[in-house]
Amino acid sequence: MQDSLKSTSYQQLEQKSKYTNMFLRWFLYFILILFASYFIFPLYVMVVTSLKTMEEIRQGTLLSWPSGLNLESWAVAWGGRGYGAGDTFLRPYFWNSIKMVVPAVFFSTFIGAMTGYVLTKWRFKGDQWVFLFLLFGCFIPFQAILLPMARTLGVLGISNSVIGLVLVHTVYGIPFTTLFFRNYYISVPTELVKAARIDGAGFFKIFFKILLPISAPIIVVTVIWQFTQIWNDFLFGSTFSFGEAAPIQVALNNMVLSSTSVKEYNVDMASAIIAGIPTLIVYVLAGKYFIRGLTSGAVKG
Amino acid sequence: MFKWLEKNLPKIVMAPAVGLIGWFVYGFVLWTLYISFTNSKILPKYELWGFGQYEKLWASRKWLIAVDNLLIFTALFLIFCVVIGIILAIFLDQKIRAEGLLRTIYLYPMALSFIVTGTAWKWILNPTLGIQKMFRDWGFEDFTFDWLVDREMAIYTIVIAGVWQSAGFVMALFLAGLRSVEDEIVKAAKIDGASLFTVYWKILLPMMRPVFFTSFVILVHISIKSYDLIVALTQGGPGISTTMPALYMTQTAFHKSQVGLSAASAMMMFMAVAAVIIPYLYSELRRENAR
């Protein structure tokens, strides 16, 4: 008797907790989807706005669907309207950014790999201090180096040029690339290197034959991190370049701010998407590596 | 000679990195520090002038507004990013369907530049055609949302955009932290009759202390350096109401040609960052050495 009583109340309890659980599940999904819409909202608005005509923008709301696939503002953002003065468009600046990003990513990654290799596999007295010395470079607010950098670029005759920006981004990327490679190589067994040294392999041979072949993941992380940082940079770009040498983020900002009589929001949004699409594609294709870089290097902000 | 070269090859390979950082980071910071003690205007002067620039800085209304804004922004940015980040991380940790997709959505703003997202937010927040119009067209005719052009409220639009950009990142940090906790601990607590809420509140979140610490350091660091977002969203306006230290520094240097004064403001930023970062680096190194 007692036993059966117990079991019914237990069943009731279980039934009840099932309902609470179901309710909690729904609540959970509701909150998660609510936040997802908050995060997706600006992207959605950017895309639909870029596809509308100005007339549609004035008539409709932020969320309203475009009447058709109107790519005109994209064409204007990328290639201009075809008249001379005051016609700014992104194409040349997009190429500036490519010309800046490719060498800067290559050099900073290469230097970081070498430095990380020495710091972990050819250790010397005080190497920890050298690491700390380099690491601190991740944290400095760049405002503290802007003035002397501007003068240095002037003295070197490369201010307002893509080459100048390559130099700047290479140098200030080194602390991060070193951090990535050092933390990766430190988990590679040193015995491997020692054995190779006994066999007579030299410094570079060990790097290229033993470490480089297993470095693919960290190279991907580093390249993605550097690419995203340099592509998205605005501070250096806007301080050390203007006019024709400007990278795309600076050009985008100038385009949006330029006060023509009529503000063309559709062109602005198309421009913003064009400036954001390369890093967005990388993120979607290689999100895992992007997040790995982010969690170990995000101190830069 | 060859022997020497071979023996010192590792150090020679290190040399460029150390030299570049020594010159471009340490040398440059020292140069800025020195200039902040001079009366430099358009061109740097090298006679020492004492603390004059710092006195001028802290007497400047614009700088005080910038510091004020920085404090407001940092406090709100921290609170909202951490609260949203933790909620999302805990909720995502409940064996959710389409977790990968949701995570991708929460984190994609981190892949975009502040100029891109600032441009988007500027359009969304603009009163004539943005959110305000949307609600009015929906029938809420008195709905007003014009923070972007309101001196008192404009700083909060920067918080909205900043939180939107960085909250997903805090989520990623906490999710990684929660996933690294052994399942056994949670199971044991559940067998002891602890509710899910208790498990998180009493056991898991206290274990996340290092993650809190890391998020704090990174977020404060981001907020001290915030520059792009303000340029894209408000250019420091309306008036000078949304100026922040980073913007003050570049404007003073490159528009007003007050090199000494801007160097002083840069050094203030440097010290603020150092005050957060040095304890962090210290504790990280200790943790690494303890391993």
Out of A42-46, A189-193, A259-263, B137-141, which region has the weakest mean confidence (pLDDT)? A259-263
pLDDT-derived band at A11 (thresholds 50, 70, 90) equals low
Q: Which two tokens stand for residue A130?
A: 């050298």
- CATH number, position B240: 1.10.3720.10
| In a domain? residue A84 | no
Contact A144 B269 (CB under 8 A): yes
pLDDT score recorded for residue B286:
76
pLDDT above 90: percentage of residues in chain A? 44
Q: What is the mean pLDDT of residues B261-272?
A: 93
pLDDT-derived band at B152 (thresholds 50, 70, 90) equals confident
ipTM: 0.88
| In a domain? residue A81 | no
User: Which DSSP symbol is given to B48?
Assistant: B
pLDDT score recorded for residue A83:
67
Q: What is the mean pLDDT of residues B252-268?
A: 90
| In a domain? residue B280 | yes
- CATH number, position A241: 1.10.3720.10
Q: Which is more confident, A277 or A69?
A: A277
pLDDT-derived band at B272 (thresholds 50, 70, 90) equals very high
Domain around A109: 91-300
Chain A residues with CB under 8 Å of B11 CB are 118, 124
Select the highest-mean-pLDDT range: A122-126, A177-181, B10-14. A177-181
Q: Are residues A17 and A61 in the same domain?
A: yes
Does residue B31 surpass a pLDDT of 50? yes
| In a domain? residue B42 | no
Q: What is the mean pLDDT of residues A175-204?
A: 88
Q: From A35, which residue of chain B is nearest by alpha-carbon distance?
A: B106
| In a domain? residue B140 | yes
Q: Are residues A157 and A223 in the same domain?
A: yes
Tell me the per-residue pLDDT of A214-240, one tens digit each, with 9 for 90 and over. Answer: 999 999 999 999 999 999 999 999 999
| In a domain? residue B14 | no
Does residue A286 surpass a pLDDT of 90? no
A101 touches B at CB < 8 Å: no
Q: Are residues A153 and A103 in the same domain?
A: yes
**Cis amide linkage into residue B238, ω under 30° from 0:** yes
Write the DSSP assignment of B107-167 as a string of letters.
Answer: HGGGGS-HHHHHHHHHHHH-TTTSHHHHHHHTT-TT----GGG-TTTHHHHHHHHHHHHHH
pLDDT score recorded for residue A10:
57
Q: Which is more confident, A276 or A203?
A: A276
Q: What is the mean pLDDT of residues A179-190?
A: 89
Out of B52-56, B116-120, B245-249, which region has the weakest mean confidence (pLDDT)? B52-56
Nearest to A76 by CA among A66, A91, A57, A63: A91
pLDDT above 70: percentage of residues in chain B? 98
Average pLDDT, chain A: 85
Who contacts A176 (Cβ-Cβ below 8 Å, separation ≥6)? A108, A112, A138, A222, A225, A226, A229, A297, A300
| In a domain? residue B181 | yes
Does residue B6 surpass a pLDDT of 60? yes
- Per DSSP (E only), the strands in B121-181 are none
Contact B130 A62 (CB under 8 A): yes
CA-CA distance, B122 to B154, in Å (whole number)? Answer: 11
Select the residue of B11, B120, B231 nearest A42 (Cβ to Cβ). Answer: B120
User: How many alpha carbons lie under 13 Å from residue B58 in its C-beta half-sphere?
Assistant: 6
Q: Which residues pair with A73 in a beta bridge?
A: none
A44 touches B at CB < 8 Å: no
Distances (CA, A) of A291 to A176, B83, B186, B219, B260: 15, 20, 26, 16, 40
Q: What's the structural domain count of chain B?
A: 1
Q: Are residues A138 and A21 in the same domain?
A: no
Q: Which two tokens stand for residue B173?
A: 């940090």
CA-CA distance, A158 to B108, in Å (whole number)? Answer: 35
**Region for A176 from its dihedrals, namely left if φ exceeds 0, alpha if ψ lies in -120 to 50, beta otherwise:** alpha
Contact B96 A28 (CB under 8 A): yes
Q: Are residues A164 and A231 in the same domain?
A: yes
Q: From B175, which residue of chain A is nearest by alpha-carbon distance?
A: A295
Q: Are residues A59 and A115 in the same domain?
A: no
CA-CA distance, A289 to B131, in Å (whole number)? Answer: 35
pLDDT score recorded for residue B23:
94
CA-CA distance, A136 to A282, in Å (whole number)? Answer: 28
Contact B119 A272 (CB under 8 A): yes
Boundary of a domain, candidates A70, A104, A121: A70
Domain around B261: 47-290
| In a domain? residue A78 | no
In A270-299, the residues whose Cβ lies within 8 Å of chain B are 271-273, 275-276, 279-280, 282-284, 287, 290-291, 294-295, 298-299
Q: Are residues A177 and A114 in the same domain?
A: yes
Does residue A28 surpass a pLDDT of 50? yes
Nearest to A104 by CA among A174, A178, A180, A207: A174
User: Which DSSP symbol is given to B143?
Assistant: -
Greatest extent of chain B over all pairs of C-alpha atoms, in Å: 85
Q: Are residues A61 and A126 in the same domain?
A: no
Tell me the per-residue pLDDT of B181-213, one tens digit each, with 9 for 90 and over. Answer: 887 888 888 788 878 788 888 888 888 888 888
Q: What is the mean pLDDT of residues A116-132?
A: 88
Nearest to B113 by CA among A243, A272, A264: A272
pLDDT above 90: percentage of residues in chain B? 43
pLDDT-derived band at A143 (thresholds 50, 70, 90) equals very high
Tell me the per-residue pLDDT of B55-107, one tens digit each, with 9 for 90 and over. Answer: 888 999 999 999 999 999 999 999 999 999 999 999 998 888 888 899 999 99
Chain A residues with CB under 8 Å of B172 CB are 291, 294-295
Q: Are residues A176 and A131 in the same domain?
A: yes
Contact A147 B266 (CB under 8 A): yes
| In a domain? residue A186 | yes
Q: Are residues A198 and A270 in the same domain?
A: yes
Does residue A8 surpass a pLDDT of 70? no
Q: How far is Cα of residue B286 from the mean position of the Cα atoms in its chain?
A: 24
Q: Are residues A159 and A246 in the same domain?
A: yes
Greatest extent of chain A over all pairs of C-alpha atoms, in Å: 96
Contact A295 B222 (CB under 8 A): no
Q: Which residues pair with B48 in a beta bridge?
A: B38
| In a domain? residue A80 | no
| In a domain? residue A75 | no
Average pLDDT, chain B: 88
Select the residue of B168, B173, B262 nearest A147 (Cβ to Cβ). Answer: B262
Does residue A300 surpass a pLDDT of 50? no
A-B C-beta contacts closer than 8 Å: 254
Q: What's the structural domain count of chain A?
A: 2
Contact A135 B281 (CB under 8 A): yes
Contact B113 A58 (CB under 8 A): no
Q: Are residues A55 and A113 in the same domain?
A: no
Segments in A51-124 forming alpha helices (H)? 54-59, 72-79, 91-121
Select the residue of A117, A291, A301 nearest B222 (Cβ to Cβ). Answer: A301
Kindly report the nearest CA distance between residue B172 and chain A, in angstroms: 8
Q: What is the mean pLDDT of residues B133-159?
A: 83
| In a domain? residue A124 | yes
Does residue A2 surpass a pLDDT of 50? no
Residue pair B248/B265 in contact (Cβ under 8 Å)? The answer is yes
A90 touches B at CB < 8 Å: no
Select the residue of B29, B131, B172 nearest A145 (Cβ to Cβ). Answer: B29
| In a domain? residue A44 | yes
Nearest to B260 by CA among B102, B37, B85: B37
| In a domain? residue B32 | no
Residue pair A236/A159 in contact (Cβ under 8 Å)? The answer is no
| In a domain? residue B180 | yes
Q: What is the mean pLDDT of residues B148-176?
A: 90
